[in-house]
Amino acid sequence: MPFGYDLDIFRVYQRKFETKLKVIVKRMLGQFGYSPDMQLLATEMVLKQAEMIASELAA
């Protein structure tokens, strides 16, 4: 299998994980009383933080 094929699979799983993480974060924010307009910003912030932590752990 070519190397690019592995990257494509990685991106698919990465998107699936991001989608699941967004759902979990939105549920938690709803439980703590965040308004829907603030949930989008908070969800994006959590994803950025998760990416930073993952890159630090990978290094």
pLDDT tens across 1-57, in order? Answer: 455 667 677 788 888 888 998 899 889 989 999 888 888 888 889 889 988 998 888
- Do 21 and 45 meet the contact criterion of CB atoms below 8 Å apart? no
Q: What is the distance between the alpha carbons of residues 43 and 45, in angstroms, rounded to a whole number? A: 5
The string of DSSP letters for 6-49 reads: HHHHHHHHHHHHHHHHHHHHHHHHHHTT--HHHHHHHHHHHHHH
The pTM score is 0.67
Q: Give the pLDDT of residue 7.
A: 66
- pLDDT at residue 4, rounded to an integer: 60
Whether residue 34 contacts residue 42, with contact meaning beta carbons closer than 8 Å, is answered with yes
CB 57 within 8 A of CB 47: no
